Structures are given as C-alpha cells and as structure tokens.
Amino acid sequence: MEQYVIKGGSPLVGEVEIGGAKNAALGILAASIMTDETVLIENVPDVRDIKVMMQAMESIGVIIQHIDRHTVKINGRNINSQVVDGDYIKRIRASYYLIGALLGKYKSAEVTLPGGCNIGTRPIDQHLKGFRALGAKDAGVVGGGMIVAHADELKGAHIYLDMVTVGATINLMLAAVMAEGQTIIENAAKEPHVVDVANFLNCMGANIKGAGTDVIRIRGVQSLHGTEYTIIPDQIEAGTFMFAAAVTKGDVTVKNVIPKHLESISAKLMEIGCEIEESDDAVRVVATKRPLHTHVKTLPYPGFPTDMQPQITVALGLAEGTSIVTESIFENRFKYVDELTRMGASIKVESSTAIIEGVSRYTGASITAPDLRAGAALVIAGLAADGYTVVDDIRYIERGYEDFDVKLRNLGAMIEKVEDDRGIQKFKLKVG
C-alpha cells in the first residue's frame, strides 16, 4: 500500500497552482448528464473521487471523452439505465447527485447509498424530503441500501431545509431545474461550489436565481442544452497549501484562486500571525514566527470551513498558549487527533471541541490518514515535524488532492510517495 514518507523541517517556499474544485466538479459532472447534447468541462481535477464518479456515469451509458488531463466532453444521450449500482460507488459521497440528475431528467433514479469520508453519521433526510416535495412520493432508502426516487411528474415546490446542507441544496437544484413551475429552496447552502453548479446549470439553459444566498429560486425549463464551462478553483486545496506555509514558516503564493472564497481562511491566518497578500487570482502567505493561539468554530460558508478544521488544528497545535477549535458541522471529525498526539501534540477532545495546548515542535511518527482532509493535515504536521513521518492510507488524500506530493516537493518539501519499507529506506538515504 502506498505511503508518504516525509522529512520535516524545510519551510515551503514558492508558487503552487491550485486545481479545479472537487466538490463543484462532482455536482457539475452529475448535472452534465441532464442534456442529450455534448458538454465540455474544463479544470476538472484529476483525483480519485472524480474518477469514481465518472465510472458510475459510464456504467449507465454516459459517454466521456478525455480531451486532456483536466478537460472532458460528456454526452448523456445514450443513458440506458437509471440504476447506479455496485460496491465501488459507495466509495464516494457525491454519488447521490446522480439521484437528483436522473430524477430531474428521467423522473426515475435508483442509486446505491453513498459512503464517502467517515466523519459523522451523514444522513440524507433533507435530500429525500425535497425529492418527495417535488413529486417523487416514494423517495427513500429501500432493501439493502438503495436510494430510490420515482415520479409521474415533477412539480416545483417550496422546500425549507432544516439545516444548511451543501449536498441537499445541490441535489434539489438538479431535481428541480426541469420540474414544472417554481421551486424555492430556503436555508440553502451558500458555498462557492453550490454557486458553481448553479452557474453551470444556467449555462445549460436552466433558470436558477439566488445561488450564493440562502434562498434559491428555480423556474423549471423544458430542457437543457450543451455548453462549455470551466470549474472554479478548489477553495480547500488552496487553504491546505496556505496552512502548510503557515506551519512550516514558509512563503507560498497559491495561484489560480478566487481570493474572495478564501477570506475566512486568510482572516484566521492573519489572526495567528501570518502576513497575507492578495492579488486578483493569487494569495501569498508569509509566516516568519511560531503561530499565535486563537479560537475557531467551523460554520457553513462564509464561515470557516469544516474541511479546513484539521489543518488549522495542526497549526494551532504549534501555537503558544491555548486554542479552542469547535466543530459544528460533523460530529466525528477529530479522529486524527490521536495520530497528532503521537507526534507530540497536546490536544483534548470533549465532544465537538478540541482544547489545544500548543507545543513548540512535533516529532515525526508513523501515522495513518483517517480521512481526506485529516490526511492532508497530518502530512502538513509531518512537514513541520522533527525527523521522519510516514503517512499510511494515502488513498484517502488522493481522493481530493491531485499530485499532492509533487506540488509540495516543488515548494521545497522533502516528501515522496513510496510502496514499502525499501522505499522508505531509499528516501532516507537520499535526503540524509
């Protein structure tokens, strides 16, 4: 099984290009099958979750042509089944977007219940409630774990989400774009990727207004058509490199980003003592000293993202004084703390709160990535640690970060992907 081996201690310096947003791409790929015409999508990240999503689409007859590493042409004309089945689909959460897309296009969808990162119970009641409101009366989970939704007709509805949910907001937009009449989604998620999916659907001929606010209004249209679209940059990939700069006392410019999407991340970095310089499509992070302590609570956008919680915890673990991190989105997102403790961190978790007594240094250790973002955060810890760190289960990290090790190496990090102990020994001999 592949691992990352890291020798810590080098400040990250230089520029890094950020790829397309994984979580926008997953929604956009699902949306692309809703027309019989061809859609061209650019800036698609080459990561594992996207590959699984494409595999699921191909399994029902979608034709996907890879133009280059980040550009695909998609045609959903020959879809021959509305049933997406198979164990592999459980590997990604966003497979449930195929319910919204197939229901919206064919009024019928059956998709294996999704898996994804194990960061909490992750119910889908809000998705199902919305599908039912739109006319899929049977929407629910049946048998051995299939989500089903069938409708004679889809009619616009007024849907009030009980909590802010990215997944349900996107899924209900997909299901509603071709429903008859008007749909209003209240308490909608405002994340940049929700807006990106809405913009993409509008380019396909949909009529969606208000994405990016908490009320989204959708007027159903008869059909959608082909288009060309470029996915927005990945807010979380950018934020991860920004924290990597902070933790290694580096100087990194993240390029090809939308600085507005990074404001909550930049604000926290400034609070902990980093300098931030923004330009039109880049943000530079300069860190010269040990981080300062602070408090942070994860919140839906524009709040501090839950997907950045492990990364900021790693930084605050090295801050002088006591910091408090409160997780308000997913109840099970501190699993990596045990691993960080093995590297010398002093963190106590009490339900959804981590109380962090900063230490002056981490020590390299053999650790396991428990999920995607925590895995990336542990790599960052390894970059700042004394000695060698080996991170197992990097398949989690590869679900959402393209060429993570290559990009870090280009910034001066000593990190390599290896297959076994021999690889680790070779790396140690090389870096000394």
Q: Which residues bind ligand EPZ (CB under 6 A)?
A: 23, 26, 93-94, 117, 120, 122-127, 163, 165-168, 189, 306-307, 329-330, 372-373, 400
Indicate which residue of 5, 28, 117, 418 is catalytic: 117
Residue 5 Cα to chain centre, angstroms: 24
Distances (CA, A) of 29 to 127, 151, 269, 299: 18, 23, 33, 26
Tokens 């396909």, residue located: 204
Task: Report DSSP letters for 287-332, one per residue.
Answer: --SPPBP-EEEB-STTSB-GGGHHHHHHHHTTSBSEEEEE--S-TT
C-alpha count within 13 angstroms, C-beta hemisphere, residue 299: 8
| Residue found under tokens 């700042």 | 384
CB of 269 to ligand EPZ, least distance (A): 19
117 tagged catalytic:
yes
Q: Please, are residues 84 and 112 in contact by the beta-carbon 8 Å criterion?
A: yes
**Shortest reach from residue 123's CB to ligand EPZ, in Å:** 4
Q: Which amino acid is at 374?
A: A
Measured distance CA(24)–CA(31) in Å, rounded: 11
Please return the burial class of 33, using the count of CB atoms within 10 Å of its CB with bins 0-12, 13-18 and 19+.
buried
Q: Which residue is nearest to ligand EPZ (CB)?
A: 167
Task: Please report which residue ranges of 110-253 form alpha helices under DSSP H.
Answer: 125-134, 166-176, 192-203, 235-247
For residue 408, what are the CA distances in angstroms to 10, 353, 373, 415? 11, 30, 16, 7
Least Å from the CB of residue 117 to ligand EPZ: 5
Question: Which residues are designated catalytic?
Answer: 117
